[in-house]
Structure 1
Amino acid sequence: MQEVSQHNTKEDCWIVVDGKVYDVTSYLDEHPGGDDVVLAATAKDGTDDFEDAGHSKSAKELLQDFCIGELDTSSPIIPELEIFEKETRNYSQKVLELTKPYWAVPVAIVGISVVVGFLYLRKK
Structure 2
Amino acid sequence: MPTLTKLYSMDEAAKHNKQDDCWLVIDGKVYDVTSYMEEHPGGDDVLVAATGKDATDDFEDAGHSQSARELMEQYCIGELDPSTAPKIPELKIYKKEQPKDFGEKLMDMAKHYWAVPAAVAGISIVAAGVVYSRKK
TM-score, scaled to structure 2: 0.55
Structure 1: stretches of 5+ with no match in the other structure: 79-124
- Structure number with greater Rg is 2
CA distance in 2, matches of 1:11, 1:75: 25
Runs of 4 or more above 2 Å deviation: 75-78
CA distance in 1, matches of 2:28, 2:49: 17
Report how many residues are paired. 78
Partner of 2:30: 21
Superposition deviation, residue 76 in structure 1? 6.1
Compute the RMSD of aligned alpha carbons: 1.2
1:69 to 78, 91, 95: 78
1:36 to 39, 45, 55: 45
Partner of 1:89: none
1:6 matches 2:15: yes
Superposition deviation, residue 22 in structure 1? 0.1
Matches within 5 A, 1:1-124: 1-75=10-84, 77=86
TM-score, scaled to structure 1: 0.61
Superposition deviation, residue 77 in structure 1? 3.8
Superposition deviation, residue 73 in structure 1? 1.2
The AA in structure 2 aligned to 1:3 is E
